[in-house]
């Protein structure tokens, strides 16, 4: 097919849009930035787009709750467009604040915009009670269905959030996510044991750092892959001879692009 096109949404408080656009361009996509006002005013905002990205930041100051206002705006103005985009085979990635937006619309984990009362999980304040900005280790489970990951994969990425703790309404929700292969990344300990703070920086249930919908095409993750696309962005790049290497985060963007190139 033609070169896949990625659209990166931005609004007041978004601060990772340029990095996300650059990552998709490095991965081989034609990438555009679009303000939410342009999208909501358009009759066909997602026409000719294969990948939609909701980047990190503090949209609308995270007033009320992180990502909540943008989630409401999307639910009100773009419900049909988003549902058609997903059911038409589109790929969505929500990073940090974008993950919070996807959860608060209901697009994760169920790929269906729904009222708050029907949502099965949320993202809330870190157990530490403070903003966490640090590098973390991540690992994929044995069973994962997301197009963004491979089984038993280990990567490192930075986190920067105050509300990253994933909490289900019922423990059965986590069991179903695991069984369906929707848990994409978990926080991991360097020792291989059960991660505790700060390896799990927010206290997320079952150490979950990223989930997908059942199709594997809608991904939400708290760590920032766009902040580690080249080796020298790693804090130990000199000691570990990472100069000239790709950063772990780039593979997520490349997999989204390759999904369409191979299809």
Catalytically active residues, by annotation: 96, 224, 226
DSSP H helices in 113-168: none
d(CA 230, CA 244): 7
SS3 label, residue 2:
coil
d(CA 148, CA 2): 20
Query: What would the two tokens of residue 175 be?
Result: 């069991």
Determine whether 261 is exposed, middle or buried from the number of CB atoms within 10 Å of its CB (0-12, 13-18, 19+): middle
d(CA 216, CA 255): 12
Number of residues in the chain? 263
SS3 label, residue 133:
strand
């Amino acid at each position: 097919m033609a070169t896949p096109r990625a659209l990166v949404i931005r609004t007041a408080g978004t601060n990772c849009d340029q990095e996300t656009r650059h990552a998709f361009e490095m991965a081989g996509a034609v990438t555009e930035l679009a303000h939410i006002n342009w999208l909501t005013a358009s009759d066909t905002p997602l026409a000719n787009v294969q990948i939609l990205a909701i980047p990190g930041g503090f949209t609308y100051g995270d007033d009320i709750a992180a990502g909540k206002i943008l989630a409401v705006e999307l639910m009100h103005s773009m419900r049909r467009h988003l549902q058609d985009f997903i059911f038409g085979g589109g790929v969505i990635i929500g990073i940090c604040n974008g993950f919070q937006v996807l959860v608060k619309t209901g697009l994760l984990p169920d790929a269906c915009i729904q009222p708050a009362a029907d949502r099965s999980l949320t993202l809330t304040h870190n157990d530490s009670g403070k903003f966490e900005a640090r590098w973390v280790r991540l690992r994929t489970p044995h069973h994962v269905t997301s197009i963004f990951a491979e089984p038993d994969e280990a990567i490192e990425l930075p986190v920067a959030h105050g509300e990253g703790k994933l909490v289900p309404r019922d423990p059965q929700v986590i069991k179903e996510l695991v069984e369906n292969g929707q848990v994409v990344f978990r926080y991991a300990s360097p020792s291989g044991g059960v991660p505790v703070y700060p390896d799990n920086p927010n206290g997320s249930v079952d150490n979950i750092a990223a989930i997908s919908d059942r199709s594997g095409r809608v991904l939400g993750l708290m760590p920032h892959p766009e902040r580690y696309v080249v080796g020298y962005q790693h804090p130990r790049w000199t000691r570990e001879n990472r100069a000239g290497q790709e950063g772990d985060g780039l593979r997520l963007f490349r997999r989204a692009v390759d999904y369409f190139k191979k299809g």
